[in-house]
């Protein structure tokens, strides 16, 4: 445990005291707070106390986690707020994040409006001094009074008890913050995040919306990332499972993972204006499968049968493609004619595992035809090399990517195989602060479908927990660009 929970009042200190937590009663008001802060030096500290809301919508018993403190010397950002807020929400608490103002005296009546105008959600009497501390700081205020339930009215005591109850419920997350906060560094795997195929697919949808207007239908998730899908939905994209759900004649984008020919036929039958966002590197695998199958080969497709890319590739020659998921399946797979066999791969596999499966197949079928160049794409290969380099030095690795992203899941596996505990997160709200306890070096990477700004957000949050130095660990340069289809070019 490196951090301390600072509670200005005795009652607050009692509410947040749980086994394993260091709780300090720091005293009320600016002067006593400043003295405590000086004594604490650069110790990480999370301030926990009651406070008053200055805006509507924040109710007694709610928690406000400060994203910045608005004090006499101007705003001070508190960067770990999203992590702490997520930990508190997981405890079932109602949490707001936003600026907290600090005042020298109790704030009530019309004075609340003055703070609200400056953007604050809540006000207290100590945070400005805490925010000046040398180490990491976080601030949580449990709301007691609000604009429509001011101080010194009937019900104030009851609301005070409600606020203290929320603080008590918050105590485990405060303890986790204290354990997670310490000096250290972030190791950024590079390359990470968007690849050329994902960039292109997203640009295709954006341009289709501009050129043809909303709605633009997209079959399946354009790329496997919840943030990307939500943003495009806001712009007017409508995501569907099958083209049967699209109105006749509508503009329809086929996702980056590729589709079976049957899907194109169904789209043509409905006279859809089809724009194909299939990544050219996936199209290359489709072409290989068509070439092998047209000469009568059985195609052993190394990949995951339930992945959309594999579903589409199998659709090129349904009777002739057999999906091989692992080395034991490779050892048992039966083919009609061992002299007429070829193999291909899903583009987003773990490089070493896929090679192991391919070598079992090569041993069993020595004349098996192979792709001219490896099917696992450059982006998958580079991201796996980069996470491996980081995992060898990191105490924990956080991989940003959605749960249905194959290449993101592979990054987690590669990191684990190279010695680091690793976790897949959609964004910072899914970080469990317990993973960070004792982790001086935290590795970060992002799957090829995860937006780069999510990496930036996470890096900022970790800086707020003391991992202020950031080292970029670059293993390859990427300058791949794919041309756009003519419908949007
Ligand atoms: S991960 Fe590879 S195959 Fe998939 S979209 Fe990106 S570049 Fe294309």
- pLDDT tens digit string along 323-339? 999 999 999 999 999 99
Please give the C-alpha separations between residue 86 and each of 14, 90, 130, 364, 461, in angstroms, as whole numbers: 23, 6, 22, 51, 12
CA 279–ligand 1 middle distance (angstroms): 6
Please give the C-alpha separations between residue 204 and each of 197, 216, 342, 423, in angstroms, as whole numbers: 11, 11, 33, 31
Q: How, if at all, do strands 185-190 and 441-446 pair?
A: parallel
Q: What is the pLDDT of residue 1?
A: 58
Look over the chain and give the mean of its residue pLDDT values, rounded to a whole number. Answer: 95
> Does residue 308 carry a catalytic annotation?
no
- Where are the extended beta strands (E) located within 226-339? 237-240, 251-254, 273-276, 298-302, 321-324
In short, whether 380's Cβ falls inside 6 Å of ligand 1 is yes
Q: What value does the mean pLDDT take over residues 461-471?
A: 98
Residue linked to tokens 């310490």: 182
Based on its alpha-carbon atoms, the radius of gyration of the chain, rounded to whole angstroms, reads 28
The kind and range of the H/E element at 267 are helix 261-269
To the nearest whole percent, how much of the chain has pLDDT over 90?
A: 90
Catalytic residue among 126, 288, 308, 309, which? Answer: 309
Mutate which of 196, 257, 371, 450 for ligand 1? The one with the most ligand atoms within 8 Å of its CB, which is 196
- pLDDT, one tens digit per residue, over 33-87 is 999 999 999 999 999 999 999 999 999 999 999 999 988 788 999 999 999 999 9
CA 278–ligand 1 middle distance (angstroms): 9
Of all atoms in ligand 1, which is nearest to the CA of residue 256? 5
CA 376–ligand 1 middle distance (angstroms): 9
CA 353 to CA 339: how far, in whole Å?
25
Of all atoms in ligand 1, which is nearest to the CA of residue 380? 1
- pLDDT, one tens digit per residue, over 166-219 is 999 999 999 999 999 999 999 999 999 999 999 999 999 999 999 999 999 999
- Token couple for 461: 């949050």
- pLDDT, one tens digit per residue, over 118-153 is 999 999 999 999 999 999 999 999 999 898 887 777
Mention every residue, 6+ apart, whose C-beta is less than 8 A from residue 155: 149
Beta-bridge partners for 218: 239, 253
């Amino acid at each position: 445990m490196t951090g301390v929970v600072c509670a200005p009042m005795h009652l607050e200190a009692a509410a947040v005291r749980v086994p394993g937590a260091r709780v300090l009663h720091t005293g009320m008001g600016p002067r006593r707070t400043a003295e405590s802060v000086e004594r604490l030096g650069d110790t990480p500290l999370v301030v926990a106390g009651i406070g008053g809301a200055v805006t509507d919508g924040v109710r007694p018993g709610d928690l406000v986690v400060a994203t910045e403190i608005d004090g006499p010397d101007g705003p001070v950002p508190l960067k770990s707020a999203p992590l702490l807020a997520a930990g508190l929400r997981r405890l079932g608490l109602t949490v707001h994040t936003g600026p907290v103002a600090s005042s020298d005296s109790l704030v009530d009546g019309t004075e609340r409006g003055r703070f609200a105008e400056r953007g604050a959600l809540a006000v207290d009497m100590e945070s400005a001094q805490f925010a000046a501390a040398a180490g990491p700081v976080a601030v949580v205020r449990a709301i007691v009074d609000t604009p429509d339930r001011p101080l010194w009215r009937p019900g104030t005591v009851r609301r005070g008890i409600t606020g203290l109850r929320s603080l008590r419920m918050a105590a485990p997350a405060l303890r986790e913050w204290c354990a997670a906060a310490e000096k250290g560094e972030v190791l950024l795997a590079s390359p990470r995040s968007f690849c050329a195929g994902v960039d292109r697919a997203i640009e295709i949808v954006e341009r289709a919306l501009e050129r043809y207007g909303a709605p633009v239908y997209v079959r399946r998730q354009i790329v496997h990332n919840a943030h990307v899908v939500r943003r495009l939905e806001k712009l007017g994209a409508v995501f569907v499972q099958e083209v049967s759900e699209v109105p006749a004649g509508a503009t329809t984008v086929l996702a980056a993972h590729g589709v079976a020919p049957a899907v194109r036929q169904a789209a043509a039958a409905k006279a859809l204006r089809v724009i194909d966002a299939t990544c050219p590197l996936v199209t290359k695998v489709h072409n290989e499968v068509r070439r092998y199958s047209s000469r009568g080969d059985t195609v052993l497709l190394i990949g995951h049968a339930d992945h959309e890319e594999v579903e589409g590739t199998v659709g090129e020659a349904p009777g002739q493609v057999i999906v091989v998921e692992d080395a034991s399946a490779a050892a048992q797979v039966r083919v009609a004619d061992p002299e007429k066999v070829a193999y291909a791969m899903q583009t987003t596999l773990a490089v070493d595992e896929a090679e192991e499966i391919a070598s079992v197949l090569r041993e069993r079928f020595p004349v098996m035809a192979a792709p001219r160049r490896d099917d696992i794409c450059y982006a998958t290969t580079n991201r796996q090399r980069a996470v491996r380099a980081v995992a060898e030095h990191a105490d924990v690795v956080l991989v940003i990517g959605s749960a249905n992203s194959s290449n993101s899941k592979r990054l987690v596996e590669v990191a684990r195989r190279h010695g680091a505990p690793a976790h897949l997160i959609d964004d910072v709200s899914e970080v469990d602060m317990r993973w960070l306890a004792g982790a001086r070096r935290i590795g970060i990477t992002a799957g090829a479908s995860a937006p780069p700004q999510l990496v930036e957000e996470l890096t900022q949050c970790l800086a707020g927990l003391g991992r202020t130095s950031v080292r970029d660990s670059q293993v390859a340069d990427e300058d791949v660009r794919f041309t756009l289809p003519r419908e949007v070019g």
